[in-house]
């Protein structure tokens, strides 16, 4: 249960940062105060559960240019037969091969779907 909560928080911050709704300063503030009572509550309207392929794409888009994981993402991206544009910028979520390639990349450096960051995380609840 704790692993699910951590991933939900991480994904929310990644999505907020990717959408430009959080500055790097507020990202650092959120990271510093994570789990504290002083964190600001963020209201999120759930329109529908996210599909697994959407969650994977959100992680990769958020981390491809990050100083910590960007090099790993690019290394594994080059090992696929797809370009960055195909897999990340103009992703086709209906393409099974692209979805598998993205999941493989996330698995190589983050342990998707059941190791490292995702250990103990239920795939049935991935979009919640």
Q: How high is the pLDDT of residue 13?
A: 58
Q: Where are the domains of the chain?
A: 2-125
pTM for the structure as a whole: 0.64
Q: How high is the pLDDT of residue 54?
A: 94
Of the candidates 69, 83, 9, the one whose C-alpha atom is nearest the C-alpha of residue 39 is 9
pLDDT tens track for 16-42: 554 444 444 444 444 444 444 445 566
* Count of alpha carbons within 13 angstroms of residue 33, beta-carbon side: 11
Instruction: Spell out, as residue ranges, where the chain has pLDDT lower than 70.
Output: 1-42, 122-128
d(CA 16, CA 23): 9
* Element of type H or E holding 52: helix 52-63
Q: How high is the pLDDT of residue 55?
A: 92
d(CA 79, CA 124): 29
Q: How high is the pLDDT of residue 21?
A: 46
Q: How high is the pLDDT of residue 27?
A: 44
d(CA 105, CA 110): 8
Q: How high is the pLDDT of residue 43?
A: 73
d(CA 62, CA 93): 17
d(CA 54, CA 67): 22
């Amino acid at each position: 249960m704790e692993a699910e909560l951590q991933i939900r928080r991480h994904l929310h911050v990644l999505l907020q940062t990717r959408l430009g709704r959080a500055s790097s300063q507020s990202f650092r503030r959120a990271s510093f105060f994570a789990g504290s009572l002083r964190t600001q509550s963020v209201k999120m309207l759930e329109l529908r559960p996210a599909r697994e392929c959407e969650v994977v794409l959100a992680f990769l888009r958020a981390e491809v240019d990050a100083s910590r994981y960007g090099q790993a993402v690019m290394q594994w991206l080059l090992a696929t037969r797809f370009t960055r544009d195909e897999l990340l910028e103009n992703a086709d979520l209906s393409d099974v091969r692209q979805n598998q390639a993205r999941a493989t990349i996330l698995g190589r450096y983050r342990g998707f779907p059941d190791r490292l960051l995702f250990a103990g995380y239920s795939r049935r609840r991935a979009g919640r």
